[in-house]
Amino acid sequence: MRHGISSIGDALREYMNKSRMKPRMMEVRIQENWEQMMGKTIARYTESIQLFDAKLIITTNVAPLKQELNYAKDKIIKLVNEMLGEPAVREVIIK
């Protein structure tokens, strides 16, 4: 646009990028897309997903799933960052 005027979409994107709500919005997007990224079985046994300070914290009580997720940490980081369109996750913690 001209003379410092931007579209509503651009203004909203800029506001969200500067907002304190951005990490929470990313967390919600991850939660909403978790089943699509990881599959129904993993999503069914995942109790919670949290994003805190570029760390994705995944909680499950299923021991074999914990082991599988531990092996797939790099893949999870890659999938989540691709889905978000930016490098928001640097570490995965399995609890």
pTM, entire model? 0.79
Give the up-direction half-sphere exposure of residue 7: CA atoms within 13 A in the CB hemisphere.
4
Q: How far is the C-alpha of 26 from the C-alpha of 83, rounded, in Å?
A: 10
DSSP count for the chain of H helices, then E strands: 5, 3
Q: Per residue of the chain (95 residues), what is the pLDDT tens digit? A: 456 667 887 777 777 777 777 788 889 999 999 999 999 999 999 999 999 999 999 999 999 999 999 999 999 999 999 999 989 999 999 99
Q: How far is the C-alpha of 12 from the C-alpha of 87, rounded, in Å?
A: 20
Query: From 3.60.21, 3.30.70, 3.30.300, 3.40.50, which CATH number describes the 8-94 domain?
Result: 3.30.300
Q: Where are the domains of the chain?
A: 8-94
Q: How far is the C-alpha of 44 from the C-alpha of 25, rounded, in Å?
A: 22
